[in-house]
């Protein structure tokens, strides 16, 4: 099984930008921790970051047939991108949306997620630990889907 982690614009600047909001942890540190959870869970994990909406849409589409689930922080595109929303909907993979800050306690324009309605879950405001929670959640979702598929095979046999 494979989980794709997609990071949106400016997340490559974690640890540098607005530390009062996002903290001192760098994206590479978050990915290293996620890699460890994936290893313990026996799943493959791949990371992708882009500042460009079209590249994010392309990466989501590439997940079809290649990944079993997506963890995404669309960053600023959360509030504006129908294209990312449509791509997530099109691939029909379990997707968890993550935000380091609590978007519902920020500026009004950040309080609406275009992405959340097509995701299995959203985690906001847990800081970098939100990615850990997303990994645990995704592993659970994938185990439940795998059990369901196995049960369906048994019924068909």
Catalytic positions are 22, 99
Residue 25, token pair as written in the block: 């942890």
CA–CA distance, 98 with 134 (Å, rounded to integer): 7
Q: Is 125 exposed, middle or buried (0-12, 13-18, 19+ CB in 10 A)?
A: middle
CA–CA distance, 129 with 117 (Å, rounded to integer): 22
- Contact 99/121 with Cβ under 8 angstroms? no
């Amino acid at each position: 099984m494979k989980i794709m982690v997609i990071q949106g614009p400016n997340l490559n600047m974690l640890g540098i930008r607005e530390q009062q909001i996002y903290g001192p942890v760098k994206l590479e540190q978050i990915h290293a921790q996620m890699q460890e959870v994936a290893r313990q869970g026996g799943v493959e994990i791949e990371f992708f970051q882009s500042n460009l909406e079209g590249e994010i849409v392309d990466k989501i589409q590439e997940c079809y047939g290649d990944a079993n689930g997506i963890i995404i922080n669309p960053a600023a595109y959360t509030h504006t991108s129908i294209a990312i929303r449509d791509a997530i909907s099109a691939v029909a993979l379990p997707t968890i949306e993550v935000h380091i800050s609590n978007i519902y306690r920020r500026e009004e324009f950040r309080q609406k997620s275009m992405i959340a309605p097509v995701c299995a879950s959203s985690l906001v405001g847990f800081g970098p630990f939100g990615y850990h929670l997303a990994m645990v959640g995704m592993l659970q979702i994938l185990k439940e889907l795998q059990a369901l598929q196995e049960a369906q095979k048994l019924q068909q046999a």
